[in-house]
Amino acid sequence: MALTATEAAKKRFLRTGRGYERREVDHMRKRVAASLLVIERNLGEALPVTSEDIKDSAFPWVIGGYEYEEVDDFLERAARIVSAYEQSLPITQQIPAKPFQLLTSDETAGLAFTIVFRGYNLKEVDRFINRVSGTLYACETGRPSPLVDASEVARKVFSISMRGYAEREVDEILDRAAETISRFESDFRRQSETGTGF
């Protein structure tokens, strides 16, 4: 369902026992409304908030905050509209994609995901990230014997539980892990075919 600037400006979210911090959500909602106004009126101005900003937004959990599913649904709808607008711009005005950064085993060893009211099961994520970290270390040291391959990382699904890890943060790391491991796998295949492998 389409979302208009007026709807975004007037949107009022339900309050719940524990939810997203209201002030920060309202600040993002106003920036979304301003961006939708630029789009609807074809003002040709820079958007106050980009689709990446919306997708990357995270809010603290507080007593009496906004109902998280309602906020997430609102932000997903807004991100789709803003993303479609960004892609319709001339190449010279499009926002360049963020350069891909390889994920390292050292980085995975120091990960500290945000714990939220409902999120990915802590133990499942920790166990899988340990496998990813071991795989990355093996790849970095030139040993093509991963504990997990890129396709498994890309397909991985976790249970949702009370007091879990923030889904968006985990998904972002897994996306980078899958791409990083895939690149290593491609390198190892080339080395094997050319006889320069380990």
Q: Express each pLDDT in 87-123 by its tens digit.
A: 886 544 545 555 778 899 999 988 888 887 788 999 9
Does 99 reside within a domain? no
pLDDT higher than threshold 90 for residue 147: no
Residue 98 included in any domain:
no
pTM of the model: 0.54
Has residue 80 got a pLDDT over 60?
yes
Q: Are residues 46 and 89 in the same domain?
A: yes
Q: Is residue 31 situated within a structural domain?
A: yes
How many structural domains are present in the chain? 2
Least confident of 18-27, 32-41, 183-192: 183-192
Residue 128 lies inside a defined structural domain of this protein: yes
Whether 144 contacts 172, CB under 8 Å: no
The pLDDT-based confidence of 29 (bands split at 50, 70, 90) is very high
Which residue range(s) make up the domain with 25? 5-93
**pLDDT of 27:** 92
CB atoms within 10 A of CB 174: 20
Tell me if 41 is assigned to some domain.
Answer: yes
Name the domain boundary from 59, 93, 127. 93
What share of the chain in percent tops pLDDT 70?
90
Task: Give the Cα-Cα-Cα angle 92, 94, 98 (nearest 5 degrees).
Answer: 120
Pick the last residue of a domain from 93, 126, 150: 93
Same domain, 22 and 89: yes
Would you place residue 133 in the very low, low, confident or very high pLDDT band (cuts 50, 70, 90)?
A: very high
Mean pLDDT of 145-173: 87
Distances 134 to 22, 105, 119, 137, 149 between C-alpha atoms, Å: 40, 7, 24, 5, 11
What would the two tokens of residue 102 be? Answer: 């390889």
**Do 155 and 133 lie in a common domain?**
yes
Cβ neighbours, 10 Å, residue 60: 11
